[in-house]
């Protein structure tokens, strides 16, 4: 059951997780073994990419198994190029070589980045290579649409503090917001904000203002919601149940309505995904469009929230903001065989690229296959003249259809049409997921088809 994997109820792996028997799993009660010391965002143990973004030091073999996280940098990311994007199989932890790291198939179209989700896939996720320890972040985007299709823009820390925007594809006038402390799934924190206009056809700017004292959610510059830390005291745990640790910006498109998900997840996502919808027929995939992301770091002279050094790490398993250290520790592995305690293990075959020799230990979480390279407006689309936000327009990219899903290795899992997955966690999240926006928006979708 989910709660045996994460005793605090975070349900990191979602309702349909299938893990390979030879890859150890991890939780607060079951830490990773020394030979595979890093607990990835997906609740699996390994080396290399497992030890970089998303590595949870609380569930790893030791606090220093995870590689320190690059500190916050003020930056506007114009989403008009993929030159600064790397798949996790190519990234070694140096933020100077990439702005975004991820899995799936981000594509360029009409000067914007599309996050795509072809049939029987688990979509696409991108995360910044640097971390915010408080600050402001804005994303200008158009959501996807359709039953079961979920677009997300979140802040997500390695110890699973989270601040969310999520959009369910059957409601193009509402942004769902939520926050979580260390992955504890309290869905009473959700709040829905009305969007002026249509989230699919029109770009809107969504903003999160995050300080040690409050979170503010804004849409097109208008304040929609405020959450004060002073209202989050938990008398049972004797601490503030408030997001407070360095977090990456994550943007994603994921299948809440995957047919193997728990009923509560599917219902929340607006129903099962139609893999033969007009969107799939026209373009070969569902997609969300991102135009720009801006990060402004919190400005303070002393912790919490500083960004004076090179990296952040934790000096205590409690993983609260008073245990975060703004340090000069390095963030770059020599290869995908490295860990936080042995960062020089292995060697790069070329400068800035990742490498790993054959090993019994996993070094790329969820290694698998990629969707076809296809963008709206190709020869599969009958509408080639408009650009109203639906993604139709000039031809670009490949011509693969949704019926011919590619299965080439790229460090990202797709089911390639497989079905009948074992579902030992079915029903474990029915109640939780029916109460509001999801915890771990990205993880639930990706974990559902990991290592089939």
DSSP state of 36: S
305 close to 91: Cβ distance less than 8 angstroms: no
Two structure tokens written together for 224:
């929609």
Q: Which residues pair with 127 in a beta bridge?
A: 101, 250
Q: Which helix (H) or strand (E) holds 268?
A: helix 263-268
Catalytic one of 90, 105, 162, 279: 162
* Cα within 13 Å of Cα(379), Cβ side: 4
Catalytic one of 29, 90, 105, 166: 166
Residue 201's SS3 state is coil
Rg (the chain; Cα; Å): 20
Interatomic CA distance for residues 57 and 36, integer angstroms: 13
Two structure tokens written together for 171:
């409601």
Phi-psi bin for 104: left (phi > 0), alpha (psi -120 to 50), beta?
Answer: left
Using a 10 angstrom Cβ sphere, with 0-12 exposed, 13-18 middle and 19 or more buried, the burial of residue 7 is exposed
Using a 10 angstrom Cβ sphere, with 0-12 exposed, 13-18 middle and 19 or more buried, the burial of residue 380 is middle
Known active-site residue 90: no
Interatomic CA distance for residues 228 and 225, integer angstroms: 10
Q: Which residues pair with 288 in a beta bridge?
A: 115
Known active-site residue 162: yes
Closest CA to 447 of 115, 54, 48: 54
Which residue in the block uniquely carries the two structure tokens 């936000």? 389
Q: Are strands 233-234 and 191-194 parallel, antiparallel or unpaired?
A: unpaired
Q: Cite the active site residues.
A: 162, 166
């Amino acid at each position: 059951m989910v709660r045996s994997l994460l005793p605090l109820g975070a349900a990191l792996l979602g309702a349909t997780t299938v893990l390979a028997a030879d890859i150890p799993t991890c939780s607060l009660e079951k830490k990773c073994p020394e030979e595979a010391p890093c607990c990835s965002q997906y609740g699996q143990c390994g080396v290399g990419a497992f030890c970089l973004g998303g590595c949870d030091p609380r569930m790893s073999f030791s606090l220093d198994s995870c590689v320190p996280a690059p500190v916050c940098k003020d930056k506007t990311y114009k989403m008009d190029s993929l030159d600064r994007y790397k798949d996790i199989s190519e990234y070694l932890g140096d933020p100077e070589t990439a702005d975004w790291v991820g899995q799936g198939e981000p594509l360029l179209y009409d000067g914007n980045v599309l996050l795509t989700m072809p049939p029987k896939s688990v979509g696409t996720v991108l995360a910044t290579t640097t971390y915010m320890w408080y600050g402001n972040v804005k994303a200008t985007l158009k959501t996807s649409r359709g039953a079961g299709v979920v677009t997300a823009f979140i802040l997500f820390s390695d110890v699973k503090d989270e601040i969310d925007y999520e959009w369910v594809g059957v409601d193009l006038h509402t942004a769902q917001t939520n926050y979580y402390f260390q992955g504890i799934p309290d869905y009473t924190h959700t709040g829905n904000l009305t969007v002026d206009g249509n989230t699919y056809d029109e770009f809107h700017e969504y903003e999160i203002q995050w300080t040690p004292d409050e979170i503010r959610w804004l849409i097109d510059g208008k304040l929609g919601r405020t959450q004060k830390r002073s209202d989050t005291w938990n008398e049972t745990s004797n601490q503030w149940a408030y997001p407070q640790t360095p977090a990456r910006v994550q943007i994603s498109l994921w299948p809440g309505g995957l047919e193997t998900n728990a009923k509560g997840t599917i219902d929340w996502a607006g129903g099962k995904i139609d893999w033969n919808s007009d969107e799939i027929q026209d373009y070969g995939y569902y997609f969300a469009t991102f135009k720009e992301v801006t990060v402004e770091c919190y400005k303070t002279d002393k912790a919490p929230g500083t960004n004076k050094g090179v990296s952040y790490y934790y000096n205590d398993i409690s993983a609260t903001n008073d245990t975060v250290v703004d340090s000069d520790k390095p963030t770059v592995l020599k290869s995908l065989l490295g860990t936080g305690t042995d960062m020089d293990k292995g060697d790069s075959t070329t400068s800035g690229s990742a490498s790993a020799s054959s090993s019994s230990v996993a070094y790329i979480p969820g290694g698998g296959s990629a969707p076809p390279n296809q963008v709206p407006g190709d020869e599969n689309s009958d509408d080639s003249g408009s650009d109203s936000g639906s993604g139709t327009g000039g031809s670009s990219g490949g011509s693969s259809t949704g019926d011919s899903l590619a299965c080439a290795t790229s460090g990202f899992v797709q089911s390639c049409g497989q079905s009948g997955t074992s579902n030992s966690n079915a029903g474990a999240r029915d109640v939780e997921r029916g109460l509001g926006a999801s915890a771990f928006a990205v993880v639930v979708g990706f974990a559902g088809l990991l290592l089939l």
